[in-house]
Each structure stands twice: as C-alpha cells, then as structure tokens.
Structure 1
Amino acid sequence: MRWSKNNLLAFVLDMVLVALGWWLAFWLRFNLDTPDEFQLMMMDTLPWPLLGFGVSLLGWGVYRHIWRYTSVAELTRLIYGVVFAALLTAAAVLMLRVESFPRSVLLLHPMLVLLLLGAARTSARLLLASRVPAASAGKPLLLVGSVQDAAAALPALRGARLWSPVGIVSPVATERGRTLQGLSVLGGMTDLPRIAKHTNAAAAVVVSAVGSDARRQALMGASEAGLPLLTMPRPDDWLRGETGQPRQIELEDLLGRTPVLLDEKGLSDLITGQTVLVTGAGGSIGSELCRQIARFGVARLVCVDVSEFAIYQLEQELRAAHPQMQGLYYTANVREADRLLAIARLHPPTVVFHAAAYKHVPLMESLNEIEALRTNVLGTLHCARVAGAVGAARFVLISTDKAVNPTNVMGASKRLAERVMQAVAAEHAGTRYVAVRFGNVLGSSGSVVPLFTAQIARGGPLTVTHPDIVRYFMTIPEAAQLVLQAGLLGQSGQIFVLDMGEPVKIVELARILIRLSGKTEQEVPVVFTGLRPGEKLFEELLANGETTEPTPHPKLHVAKTNEAGGVDLGAVSQSMVDLGAEPSASSLRAWLHSQVPEYAPR
C-alpha cells in the first residue's frame, strides 16, 4: 500500500487513541483515581500496546479503507485488528512480568480502543457526508424495491450528483414507515403515483435484484405511475469504465432473468480451432449464434442463409469484429440437399447448428403451408443427413415451444422436424443429434416487440390479440448461449427444453413499451383484435405424456416422451413431392396430422 498524508494522519491519530485508551483503562481500574506508582507503570508499559496495535492494525490492512465510506466490512476488519493487537499486548506485558500489573487493564484496554477507533471513523464519515454542498443535489429520484436492495444501491446513487434520492417505494408491506440512511419507505407499489406527485420525483429507479420476482413486479408497477423508469448499471458497464449513473430501462430488463452461466471450457474444447456450420445464419438466432461461436475462437465459420441482404450484413459485422476468423458466407437454400452437401464437403464441419426455418404463425397458416413444410421439415431432413454424411460430431436443431401440442401448421411442422431429426439420428451413430425448444425471443425479427415498437413510432394503436394471452420470452443472447450449451450435452436424439422463467402477459409488455417510449396509454392506446388462426392463449414447453429430466445445466432439461417409433423418412420426402406446388389446405393438414397425431388445427 502506498502511504499518503491522510494515511499517516490516520495512523498517528489511532496511536494517540490507543495511548488514551491505555490511560483510561488504568483510570477506570482504579475508580477514576490512578495511584502515582501505577501512573509510572502505565507510562513504562505504554510502548507495548502502541507497538502491538501499530503492527496489528497495519497487518490487517485497516489503513486501506477510506473513512468517508466506513461500513460494516471496515469495522469488522478493525475488530480483528484490535483483538489481535490485544493478544500481542497481553503477551508482551505478561512476558515482561511487570510486578503487580493489574490484569484487568488488559481486558479493558482493547474494548476502549475499539470504542474510540470506531467512534472516530463513524464521526469522520458523518462529518464528511454533512459537508457535501447543497448545490450538488440533483433531480429528485424514487427508489423502487425492498430496503435491502435500496441499501445496496444508495452509495452509488449518492455518488452520482445528477440524482438525489428522496424516498423508497417498497413492495414489502412490513417495510412501510421504516427509514434507511435518512430515506423513508413512503409506501408500496400501489402508492407510487401519489408518492411521485408528493415528492415531485423526476424519475424512479428500480433497484430490485436482477432475476428476482420483485424486480419484475416493480417494473410492471412503476410503469403505471407515469414516471421515467431507470435501473442500476450492469456489472459490465462498470468494467468498461462507463458512468455509474442509473441507465434507461431496456427490453432485456423486462424479463428479470439471471444471466446464463456457460460451460466455457467445454464449449472452448468443442468449438475452438474447429469448423462450424450455421444455417439460417442471417436470422435473429442464427446471427447471434455466429457471434457467440466467433467469441469462442472458431477456426472456420460457414454461414448459410437464403437472404442475400441478411448474409451480407452478417459478413460485414463479423469481418469487423473478428478479422482473424475465416468466415465463409453462402446464399444457399436448405431445401437444396445437393448444394448443402457440396458446401459441407468443401468445409467439413465439426458442429452444425440448424436455425433456418419459417416461424411466423399466421403467415404459415394460410397460403404458405407447403412452404413451411418444405423449409422446416424437408430442410431439417437435408441438413441432418448432410451432417451425418460428412461426419460432423454434433447436429443441433433449433425448435420452438409451438411444436408442443401444436394448433398451427408452423408448430406442427417444427414438431415433425424434431421427429425427422430423431429418425436421422438412428441412421448416423457417429453424429450426436439434439433439438432445443424455447419460446419467443425478445426483439427477434417478426416477433411482437419490433411490431409494437413500429406501432408506437406511428402513434399507435398497439394491437394485442387477447387481454389474457401470455408468452414465454428470453433474450437473443440467452437463447443462443443455451443452444450452444445444449449442443455440448446429452445423448443423440434428445430434445432439450429451456427454462423460460415465468410467462409474460403481452398486454403488460405493450404497456411497458409505451411507458419506456415516454408516452401514455391515452396517447398510444392498446386495442384487442382477437386470436388469429392457429394461435393459443398460452404456449407449452411439454406435450401431453412428456416429462423432463435434469441436466448438469440448471436451465436445460431433457423432454422424455412415451411416443414409440419414428417417421418414415422416405415417405416424408415422397409426400413433399406428392403434395405438389398447390396442395389443398385440407389434404395438407390431413397428411400433417398423420405424421403429428397431437396436431389439432383450430
């Protein structure tokens, strides 16, 4: 530790207090009247407590702390230093065998020193805090969250001069009326509009812990108060040296989910220095998979997508972010088996991630049913067989919760794709095939969030199909990371189900997005349009008769089904031809039901 003038001053002051404590211990021992001979004894032995306390306090790192920010942690370290110093002092005095030395002094002294040193630090903190100029007070800010969460956030908020905390709004009923560091708990979530008006708050910062139910409830409740919503910086914001000021609420904050913990070593062993092929690489999930794979040091990344513009954008991004990586960008279609096989033979992959799919439910429900089957089913068959033909170690199919008890063509096509993957797994023992099911991805192309954002930009209204409709959501990075993790786990033919957390009401999501845009429901109304063809009120992650088994990763589970037998791959391929370019809706649905018995059109 490099000593400053403040450190030296603190050390000298502590030694004065140690000496004062030594005198007080003698004084109290002799009922406030120390005899002359014991005053001499006190002076003769004083160097030993000074030496003992000086060595101990330095050894315990007491002077690394700044008195202005003294807290329980610093006082705990001070206690350790005092106890150790008391032992050193007692050992020195007893070894000297000072005649008639009052041993009670050895007990009184450390208690008095601890009291004096603790009081000095606490007084310094209070004094320095009171000297903050009133002019530095920022805009009034309400803290939304429990007292415990507010206590963790307050030091950073008081150091950020742009804001001045004026009160706490806690979802915990028993905390109302309590105070924390001069701030009162002014009420609960239902009182927020009244409290905001009473305190003239300019904003509310949600301080509930990430991943907690309280955080999500606070976000939902605070949005009703008409206040701009803020939250505390992420840990990586601090690491990048960005400001510690509260930041705007973002879409990811709506989920209240804890970060995904990856098996970094296992994924590095799987990907680093290898060739990986990603289909649908230009899409929301596919492009994020490419970013994550590039981060693990892949030697060659083969990106396949039917969209020229999407693959161009991906190429530009990855070339800039990972110039050392060899990226190969193909505008190819997964429906064309020969082209896929040619690409894979040129660059034999260790892992294949199959993200190419049509996923928009209403669009695939009429006019485009055959397109959903050709891309989602036939495309999966081609990719899976190519992976086996070139000796890939792993093949990962990205599926959806809409494949569970499907009520629409898109969901049924993805369920059939899962069964196709399992049938191909039986043909290629050297390749491990798995599928991963998850729900809606927040902010992905074609999802509800970009739709709502565009509707808000046009001034509304926001269209919600039903007031009770709910969906599971996760962020794009979280989804991609769990797909990578699933590729590392399990046995061939398994279907993984992701922990999607709690479902979110779409109408609540709409209202939050309106509030985040700085508008009100009076300015941008929400209207209900009715369920669309094939749409459910809620999605499921497990079909009837399915259960789950745990995996080494807490957010991944294996779906176990009693369904026996696979699909006839030859018959599936031939049916795609037999259905023709313009199949009737009834014949297509009848064939799909024959392959996916749980498919129940609505």
Structure 2
Amino acid sequence: MNYRIRYFLFLILDLFHALVAVFIGYWLFNPSITFFPSFTISLVSLFFSYQILSHFLHLSTRIWSVASVRDLLPVTFAVNLSVLITILSQLLIQGSVDFREIFVIWLIFYVLIGSSRFFIRVYREVKDSQPLGQLKRVLVVGAGEAGTILIRNIRKKRKHEYDVVAIVDDDPNKQHLSLWGVEVCGTTVEIPHIVQEKKVDIIILAIPSLGKMEMQRIYEQCKRTKIKIKTMPKIEDVMTGKVAVHEMREVKTEELLGREEIKLDMEAISKKLLHKKILVTGAGGSIGSEICRQVLQFGPKQLILLGHGEHSIYTIHLELVENNQFRNIEFVPIIADVQDRKRIFEVIEQYKPDVIYHAAAHKHVPLMEVNPKEAVKNNIFGTKNVADAAHHFSVSNFVMISTDKAVNPTNVMGATKRIAEMIIQNLARNSDTNFAAVRFGNVLGSRGSVVPRFREQIASGGPVKVTHPEMTRYFMTIPEASKLVLQAGVLAKGGEVFVLDMGEQIKILDLAKNIIRLSGFTEEEIGIEFSGIRPGEKMYEELLNSEEIQEEWIYPKIHIGKAHCLDENQLLQLLEELETLDSQNLKQRVIDVANGKGWFINT
C-alpha cells in the first residue's frame, strides 16, 4: 500500500477513535450531551496532540503486521501524554476538569488505538496460518526456547506442511501446560503412547543442545513408533541466517553414538600451533582435511597441504582460502607422494614445518588384501620417509594417524599400520622430534566407510548389505578423530600410542537399522542382506592389546600405551626383506611381524 494512502487511512481511523472515546466519556456522565466547548476542546486537543506525538515517535511508519509487545510502549506513551495535554487544555481554557470523563476517555482511546494496530498483526497471522492441503501431524519433543521458536514459526509460515498436535517435555513443571495452543501431553518416556493416541505422522526433536547420551535415549523411544524422526537446526545457525527455523533435517548417525565429544586443552594446543608452520600429509582425505580445519582455529602461520591427489588438494585448498580470506594464514598446496623419499625430504627441508600430522595412508581393508605391495609401500615406507625427514630436520612434533586394526592384526592394512607405529617408536628413542601415534576406530562419513555406503544402498532402493549379523566396530566422528590428533601432539613425549576411550562397540547391523530409520524407511521397505565377512576383516576390533592396556587416562577419555617394538637393526633388516618378497609372502610376513612373530629374519 502507498505510504500516503496508508498515512491518510490511519489519520481517519485515529480521528474516529478520538471521537468515540470523547463521546462515550461525556455521554456516560451527561446523557443530554451537546457540542458545547468542553467536548470540542477535549476532542481537538486529544486528536492533534496524539498525531503530533505519533509523528515524532514514528508510529505511522511501523510495520504493524509483525508488531510485538514492545511496540505497545511508544503507543502507551503517546496516548498517556495526549490525555495529559487534554487535561491541561481544559484547565487553561475552562479552569476545571472532570477526571471521571478523562479516565473513560483515556481507557477507550488506549484500547481502540492499541487494538486497531494489533488487529493488523492478528489478521496477518490468521491469514498466513490457513492450511494448504493436508498437513502432517507433528509431535514436538521439547517445550523450551527452541520448541517455542519452532512452533511459532510453523504456525506463521504460509506454505507450511506441519500441524503440531502435541508436545512432550521431561520438565514436570511444564506438564499439561500449553505452548501456542498446543498441550504438553507428557514426558519423553510416553512418546510411543502419545504418537498412537494423537495419530502423529512425524516427530521433531526441538532440543538442539541435547547431549549424545540423552539424544540416544530419546531416539530409542522415538524408534519404537516406526515413524519419521527429524530435528530442528541449532539456534545459532538460525540466528546467523545459515538455515531457517522450519528447515528440519534428519537426525545424524553420529548424534546417536551415545558418547560426548572429547574436550580439548585449548590453551596447550594453542601454544603448539599459534604462529607455527604445520604440515598435513593426506590433506585431501577425510581425516587430513578435517585436521586442517581444526588447526585453523589455533592461528598457525602457515598450513602446508600435502597430498597425492590433485583434485582433493585443490578442493581443500580452495575451501580453506575462501573461508579464511581475512586471516593472516598462508596456505601452501603441495602435490607429492609420500613414497617419493627424495621429494618428501625436499618439501620438509624447504618449508621447515614445526608440526607434522601424518594422515596419508591406504586404509581400505579388502582392497589392501589383494594389493599388499601397495599397502607396504604407502603405509610402511611412506611413513618411514616422512618420519625420517621429520627426524633429520628436527621437526618439533610428528603425529601419525593409526587404526584400531593395528591391534593383533589379521589383515595387511592393520599390519602395515602396526609396523608404521614401530617405525616412529624406534625413531622416538633417539630423536629431538616428539613422535606419537593415534589409534582410531571407524570414522563415520569418511571415504570408503560403511555409513555413506549404506546411504547409497538406501537411495537406490536397497537392500542394505551387512557382512555379518554379529560384526561390531568402534565408531567416532571425523571432528572427534581430528581433535584427538591435535591433543596427542600436545601430550606426546616420545613414542606413545594414544587411544580415545570410544565407549562400547556398535553392531554394524544396529547401525544399518538406525540409518534406514533415519532415512525415513522401515527395514521391511529397504531390506537387509548378509553378504559375508570380506577378506582380512575381523568380527570385532581392539584398541589396545592385553599388554598395552592401562586403566588410567592420561587425559580425559584418552588412554596411552607403549607397545613392543623391534630394535633398530631388526627394523632395518625387516624393511630390506619386505622390498624383496612377492605379494603372498609379503602379506604373511607383515602380519606375523605385527603380531610379534618372527622377530628375527629367516627364523
């Protein structure tokens, strides 16, 4: 609507309000009212004083369709001051005032002015809340701030698809109270019953800050209902404009691990990384790229991104440059293969990093079973090249990414990683460099991991293929893994193997069922098939063997163990031998050595 037309309409409306208020005020106490001077004085002074105040308080330019309670304050001030001016006008002109009439005039004028403004908002909300088609019946979990924002926005959104029919909350003080007209019907334990009673189509979790243990507990209740489960975005993401309140997302698999993320010693890590040169090998991979992102929080001087894959290094380099364009950090993309010893030495000599995070490795278990020579070249000799260069050029800290598969390994990948651990343990004995290894379980979302594969199978209509119904694995998120790497670099004193306390192992079958449910399907719709254990796989994994286990944590949620290691001569003889063996003998040799068998060559 044109501003001038809008202003004129409000002017006519306010004149009508003033006329009604003054007329009723005088009529109540003088039914035989005539247009004598007192009436005229009250009407003119009330109307014009309000218009002048309205102009100076910008009341005519406010968008009343989105007005809040706070917008009533200037209206209240303008009305009160207008009535006060009316009283003074009557005293100056007539010399007397009937305060009964003034009180009625004030009350009616205030009610009419306020209600006319807020009628616009009420009309807009009623109009916008008209449903378009059949809506999905929603149960909201959480009657706190997030739940309030969610329900209000669902109600206000014109083309919404949800109808909130019930709320659950574990706060006993909120039971049977209402939030935007929706009753808090019970606690989270009652979710299955409420879903059935209210014929709910979808559950929305409105507790973005919920801890993982609580999230897992509530999810277990929701899972019993066999309906779709979603969660609202974090409040900070809404406030910063990253997402809208009504943009629901699926519950992420990592949110159901039932383990709180590790807390870092930020001050100690900052001392290690602030204004330092940091080199990350395998920087284009899942773990390597996340390490780069985490390192940036601590203000390094230079971040050297080393990797073999041209596209992956280009991608992470571009991301980091674009997201950190206003920070004084130099990013150096390096295309190099850790197997190329001369090239690795050249890079480390040229850039002289203070800290090296060695994430480059071949990690795919079945693939390495049929390519043992590549596993040995990359995981053993590649690690030796980078570690030797770090030692030779006196790099302050070297942290290698290892795996739980290095414990009592039955496959080539795990065995080569265990021997890589031996290499850095051996170097740590007589080096100025602090060497350490960090063992991870399976990382959710990394390339080649089971979760993306399950999602692809679900997207194609199923079935989801699980190797064995009893197979279990430890799981952690990529950020958790990367943070542990940074913490290990601070804790390292030489040759340690750090391990995160990862809680209980998770059945792969249960993980598959959860992902199916989180994708909005039932197990019957997608189906699950058992494909059999693949070459080199174990039914379960270990993080430390019986000789390495230490009950106490060196840091909250972090264990430390010093595993057996070959002496320097044995290690050199082993490496020479590995270069001469064929694939079959090579495979068995690395597995035997990693398990402590055949410590001496040709015995």
Q: TM-score, normalised by structure 2?
A: 0.69
**Aligned equivalent of 2:332:** 328
User: 2:154 maps to which residue?
Assistant: 161
3-state SS of 2:588 partner:
helix
Q: Answer whether contact 1:210 1:257 (CA < 8 A) is retained.
A: no
Look up the equivalent residue of 1:403 and give its one-letter code: A
Contact 1:168–1:187 (8 Å) recurs in 2: no
Deviation at 1:569, TM superposition (A): 3.1
Partner of 1:395: 398
**1:373 equivalent in alignment to 2:372:** no
Cα 1:239/1:296, change in 2 over 3 Å: farther
User: Are the counterparts in 1 of residues 189 and 221 from structure 2 also a CA contact under 8 Å?
Assistant: no
Pick closer, same or farther for the CA change 1:253–1:247 going to 2, 3 Å: farther
1:280 alignment partner in structure 2: 282
Change in CA separation of 1:269 and 1:316 when aligned onto 2, cut-off 3 Å: same
Give the 3-state SS of the residue equivalent to 1:359 in structure 2.
Answer: coil
Map of 1:585 onto structure 2: 584
Structure 1 256/544 Cα, relative in aligned 2: closer, same or farther at 3 Å? Answer: closer
Unaligned runs of 5+ in 2: 1-67, 71-121, 156-161, 599-603
Mapped contact 1:230–1:246 kept (Cα < 8 A): no
Letter paired with 1:421: I
Match of 2:298 in 1: 296
CA distance in 2, matches of 1:549, 1:338: 42
Q: Secondary structure at the match of 1:395?
A: strand
**Letter of the aligned partner of 1:228 in structure 2?**
K
Structure-1 separation of matches of 2:586 and 2:319? 44
Kindly state the Cα deviation for residue 258 of structure 1 after the two structures are TM-superposed: 2.9
Residue matched to 1:338: 342
Q: 1:578 and 1:427, CA in 2 relative to 1: closer, same or farther beyond 3 A? A: farther
The range that moved more, 462-471 or 150-159, is 150-159
Match of 2:420 in 1: 417
Secondary structure of the residue that 1:183 maps to in structure 2? strand
Q: CA deviation at 1:161?
A: 3.2
1:118-517 equivalences in 2 (<5 Å):
140-143=137-140, 154-162=147-155, 165-167=164-166, 179=176, 182-185=183-186, 188=189, 192=192, 195-206=194-205, 210-234=210-234, 236-238=236-238, 240-241=240-241, 242-245=243-246, 247-248=248-249, 249-323=251-325, 324-365=328-369, 367-428=370-431, 430-517=432-519
Number of equivalenced pairs:
457
Could you list the per-position Cα deviations for residues 470-495 of structure 1 after superposition, in whole angstroms to 9, with x for gaps in the alignment? 22222212211121111111311111
Letter in 1 for 2:195: A
Contact 1:151–1:180, Cα closer than 8 Å, also in 2 = no
Note the C-alpha offset of 1:363. 0.9
Q: Is the 8 A contact 1:344 1:390 kept in 2?
A: yes
Give 1:594's aligned amino acid. Answer: V
1:210–1:258: 8 Å Cα contact kept in structure 2? no
Cα distance in 2 between the residues matched to 1:407 and 1:211: 36
Could you report, residue by residue, the CA deviation over 1:134-179 in whole angstroms, capped at 9, with x for unpaired residues? Answer: 88598542245xxxx6567544444443466544668x9x99x975
Task: Show the counterpart of 1:126.
Answer: none
> Can you give the 5+ residue segments of structure 1 that lack an aligned partner in the other structure?
1-65, 69-130
1:526-582 residue CA offsets vs partner (Å, 9 max, x unmatched): 111121122122221111222236456413221255x36545331233123222xxx
Aligned-residue offset at 1:462: 0.9
Q: What amino acid does structure 2 have at the position aligned with 1:237?
A: D
Decide whether aligned partners of structure 1 residues 491 and 453 sit closer, same or farther in structure 2, where only a CA change above 3 A counts: same
Residues in 2 aligned to 1:341 and 1:380: alpha-carbon distance in whole angstroms: 12
Match of 1:231, as an amino acid? Answer: T
Sort the Cα spacing of 1:518 and 1:566 in 2 relative to 1 into closer, same or farther, 3 A: same
Q: Among residues 518, 538, 541, which one is paired with 2:540 in the alignment?
A: 538
Tell me the distance in 1 between the aligned counterparts of 2:212 and 2:312. 36
Amino acid at match of 1:304: L
CA distance change for structure 1 residues 320 and 197 in 2, over 3 Å: closer, same or farther? same
The 1:205–1:566 alpha-carbon spacing in structure 2 relative to 1, beyond 3 Å, is farther
CA-to-partner distance for each residue in 1:102-139, whole Å, 9 max, x for gaps? Answer: xxxxxxxxxxxxxxxxxxxxxxxxxxxxx998885985
Q: Give the Cα–Cα distance (whole angstroms) in 2 for the partners of residues 381 and 186 of structure 1.
A: 57
Q: Whole-Å Cα distance in 1 between the matches of residues 387 and 512 of structure 2?
A: 39
Going from structure 1 to structure 2, the CA distance change for 1:246 and 1:554 (only over 3 Å counts) comes to farther
Q: Distance in 2 between matches of 1:478 and 1:156?
A: 30
Counterparts of 1:474 and 1:210, CA distance in 2: 18
Moved over 6 A (4+): 131-135
SS of the aligned residue for 1:590 comes to: helix
CA positional deviation for 1:380: 1.2
Conservation of the 8 A alpha-carbon contact between 2:213 and 2:259: no
Contact 1:276/1:350, CA 8 A, preserved across alignment: yes
Q: Give how far 1:439 is off.
A: 0.8
Deviation at 1:260, TM superposition (A): 3.7
Say if 1:359 and 1:157 are closer, same or farther in 2 by CA, change over 3 A: same
Alpha carbons of structure 1 residues 426 and 186: separation in structure 2 relative to 1, 3 Å:
closer
Q: Give the secondary-structure state (helix, strand or coil) at the position aligned to 1:589.
A: helix
Q: Percent identity?
A: 39
Displacement of 1:207 in angstroms is 5.5
Evaluate the alpha carbon distance shift between residue 299 and residue 180 of structure 1 in structure 2; reply closer, same or farther with a 3 A threshold.
same
Hey, what does 1:9 align to over in structure 2?
A: none
The one-letter amino acid paired with 2:441 is: G
Q: Report Cα offsets for 1:406-442 as digits up to 9, x if no partner.
A: 12111111111111110011131x1101111111111
Distance 1:515-1:134 versus aligned 2 partners, 3 A rule: farther
Q: What does residue 103 of structure 1 align with?
A: none
CA contact (8 A) 1:440 1:447 kept: yes
Aligned counterparts of 1:440 and 1:227: Cα–Cα separation in 2:
29
Letter in 1 for 2:476: M
8 A contact 1:422–1:566 mirrored in 2: no
Contact 1:384/1:421 (8 A) holds in 2: yes
Contact 1:157 1:164 in 2 (8 A): no
Query: CA–CA distance in 2 between the matches of 1:424 and 1:235?
Result: 48
Distance 1:529 1:266 in 2: 47
**Structure 2 vs 1, CA of residues 355 and 511 (structure 1 numbering), >3 Å: closer, same or farther?**
same
Any conservation in 1 of the 2:475–2:502 contact (CA below 8 Å)?
yes
Distance of aligned partners of 1:373 and 1:565 in 2 relative to their CA distance in 1, 3 Å threshold: closer
Structure 1 residue 238: Cα displacement:
4.8
- SS for the counterpart of 1:523 is helix
Paired with 1:530 and 1:577, the residues of 2 have a C-alpha distance of 33
The CA deviation string for residues 158-203 of structure 1, in whole angstroms up to 9 with x for no partner, is: 4443466544668x9x99x9756542228847x72x6434313231
TM, length-normalised to structure 1: 0.69
User: How big is the alpha-carbon RMSD for the aligned residues of Structure 1 and Structure 2?
Assistant: 3.2
Q: Which amino acid aligns with 2:184?
A: L
Kindly state the Cα deviation for residue 215 of structure 1 after the two structures are TM-superposed. Answer: 1.8
Residue type of the alignment partner of 2:513: R
CA contact (8 A) 1:206 1:219 kept: no
Task: Give CA-to-partner distance per residue, 1:76-111, whole Å, 9 cap, x none.
Answer: xxxxxxxxxxxxxxxxxxxxxxxxxxxxxxxxxxxx
Residue in structure 1 matching 2:575, options 565, 573, 576: 573
What secondary structure is seen at the aligned counterpart in 2 of 1:578?
coil
Distance in structure 2 (CA, Å) of the matches to 1:566 and 1:281: 31
Give 3-state SS (helix, strand or coil) of 1:501's partner.
coil
